Structure 1
Amino acid sequence: MLEGAVETDHLACLPPSLAAAVSSACAGISHNLNGQRLGRKGRVTRERILAAAMDLIEADEQPVTLARVARHAALGMTSVYNYFPGMTELLLAVLEPVMATAEDDYLCVLRQPWPDDELFEWCQKFVVAYHGFWLRHSRLLHLRNALADQHDVQMVAHRIRSSRPVVALLVRQMSEEPIGLGPHTSMATILMIAIERSVTIVTNPELRRLVGIEPELSEDRYLVPGARLVQMAISDARSESRSDLEGNA
């Protein structure tokens, strides 16, 4: 393929929702790093770079480099450097459309009212949806977390930003407490950490091996207790809120 050629199927390797998120993210970029205004060709080139990076990250275990991404996208390094000065910036750009799909994948579950008599079912639905999101993007999310654990400031910040909507929505399920430094916010934060860590283990074959989870062992071993933990925390918070209201009546 000639460099700069416009492919009509450059996003074909991605699921439709993710391909749409990539296009939307690229449509919001007006200039490249050289200050040149982007037309359709420039946006398509950026889409090709992101799609190639996503494909490489999820396809194999080899380290992903800008050079590999350029080859996979059938572009020269100059074209890649026009948009991304390094791998950190490229990974952040890849994460943007991926996290844009979180609303439809699991945040929408948290936005629904969870009745007391169906609380466990809704908690389990959320945990399973969150696990499914991680499973679809496991290598990318594990790479982000690995870099965050190595104190990459931008990846740490991204990890925190991506967890905040979950924390806020869990607090809303608990009570009318404003998101902040209250006890329900603290509990929601702990729940988020626990759920992410358990999902991290069950979606990473190497971590599963290290902690002794056999390949044939169902993820339910961790997902069901996670859902039960969320249920107990929300139920306890609601009971406490009702007691406070009755005491103030």
Structure 2
Amino acid sequence: MGCRRHRGIHRCQDAGLAGRQGRGTGLRRRGVTAVRKFAVREGELSGSSLSPEAAAQADAGVSHNLNGQRLGRKGRVTRERILSATVELLESDDGEPISLSAVARRASLGMSSLYNYFGDLTELLLAVLEPVMATAEDAYLSKLRERWPEEELGERCLDFVSSYHRFWARHSRLLHLRNSMADQRDRRMMQHRVQSSQPIIALIVTQMDGANDVRPSPATSMATMLMTGIERSVTIATDRQLPEIMGWEASYDEFRFLEPGARLMEIAIRDVRDRTRS
């Protein structure tokens, strides 16, 4: 890890970190065909994970640079240029590690210019994550807000798990990078990872007819375990390097965890609902 001092502040980058990142009964009857129907919709797993518009959105709420200077037109253009370069680097297939120096090169800026806008790699990636996570409501959270009828529970669980998988597939490298940095004990990335899961857990608890309060409960524990398993299976499914590492290229099917995940979700929700009623 290389560190530098800039304006009295240590700036550290892990240049290699991102380079390692990548690239019910009714359910049983429907099988793989149903899984693929829910998992793949036209164009949703292809194309870019982020857009120039997303970079602009990440820039919209910022009024000053890190030196306290108000951003004028030129400053906003430069900041958006940095964000766009980060997006391009995340989407590239050349395997170049994500680092501040790589972003600066792609944006044709010096490191001192970049440090006017982002103090470190975490701060930059959090800015890119902001507009991505703003799409979570439409992508998968909204599916949990309406109570699922008992007779539709299996199908609704599959729809949710498939939607969550599509979100991860669309933003795979960025989300894998966040999780890797969180695993390296980056506190801000740890907080982001936890905070992005909390709304899902709370809504699953509501689906279980549990009370969402600060005290631990069987519903909260079950929802937390369930979401931990679903997220882990999706991270494995969307890891672009794992099939090569494990020698699975010929037989790998990234959708194979969707039906088991949905089935476990259905069982968990039914179980807690039954216990709540009894």
Distance in 2 of aligned mates of 1:65 and 1:209: 24
Residue 14 of structure 1: how far off its partner (Å): 6.0
Q: Match for residue 78 of structure 1?
A: 112
Distance in 1 of aligned mates of 2:223 and 2:114: 40
User: CA distance change for structure 1 residues 113 and 47 in 2, over 3 Å: closer, same or farther?
Assistant: farther
**1:118 equivalenced with 2:152 (yes/no):** yes
Q: Which deviations, in whole Å up to 9, do the C-alpha atoms of 1:186-233 show, x marking residues without a partner?
A: 111111110111001111132234456445433332111001111111
User: CA distance change for structure 1 residues 211 and 143 in 2, over 3 Å: closer, same or farther?
Assistant: same
Q: Name the amino acid aligned to 1:114.
A: W
Q: Match for residue 10 of structure 2?
A: none
1:35-54 map, 5 Å: 35-54=68-87
Q: Match for residue 162 of structure 1?
A: 196
Q: TM-score, normalised by structure 1?
A: 0.84
Higher relative contact order (CA 8 A, sep 6+): 2
User: CA distance change for structure 1 residues 207 and 183 in 2, over 3 Å: closer, same or farther?
Assistant: same
Q: Match for residue 5 of structure 1?
A: none
Distance in 1 of aligned mates of 2:145 and 2:52: 24
- Identity of aligned pairs, percent? 58
Distance in 1 of aligned mates of 2:127 and 2:104: 15
- Uncovered stretches (5+) of structure 2, i.e. residues with no partner: 1-46
**1:23 equivalenced with 2:56 (yes/no):** yes
**1:224 equivalenced with 2:265 (yes/no):** no
- The structure in which a higher percent of residues are helix is 1
Distance in 2 of aligned mates of 1:221 and 1:57: 26
Please give the secondary structure, in 2, of the residue aligned with 1:45. helix
Maintained 8 Å contact 2:48/2:170: no
1:59-74 map, 5 Å: 59-60=92-93, 61-74=95-108
Q: Match for residue 17 of structure 2?
A: none
Distance in 2 of aligned mates of 1:14 and 1:214: 23
Q: Size of the alignment, in residue pairs?
A: 230
**1:152 equivalenced with 2:197 (yes/no):** no
- Uncovered stretches (5+) of structure 1, i.e. residues with no partner: 1-12, 244-249
Residue 38 of structure 1: how far off its partner (Å): 1.5
User: CA distance change for structure 1 residues 109 and 165 in 2, over 3 Å: closer, same or farther?
Assistant: same
User: CA distance change for structure 1 residues 194 and 138 in 2, over 3 Å: closer, same or farther?
Assistant: same
Distance in 2 of aligned mates of 1:130 and 1:212: 26
Q: Match for residue 205 of structure 1?
A: 240
Distance in 2 of aligned mates of 1:197 and 1:20: 30
**1:171 equivalenced with 2:205 (yes/no):** yes
User: CA distance change for structure 1 residues 170 and 219 in 2, over 3 Å: closer, same or farther?
Assistant: same
Q: Match for residue 273 of structure 2?
A: 238
Maintained 8 Å contact 2:243/2:252: no
Q: Match for residue 193 of structure 1?
A: 228
User: CA distance change for structure 1 residues 156 and 25 in 2, over 3 Å: closer, same or farther?
Assistant: same
Please give the secondary structure, in 1, of the residue aligned with 2:262. helix
User: CA distance change for structure 1 residues 83 and 151 in 2, over 3 Å: closer, same or farther?
Assistant: same
Residue 162 of structure 1: how far off its partner (Å): 0.9
Q: Which deviations, in whole Å up to 9, do the C-alpha atoms of 1:144-195 show, x marking residues without a partner?
A: 1111112122211111111111111111111141243111111111111101
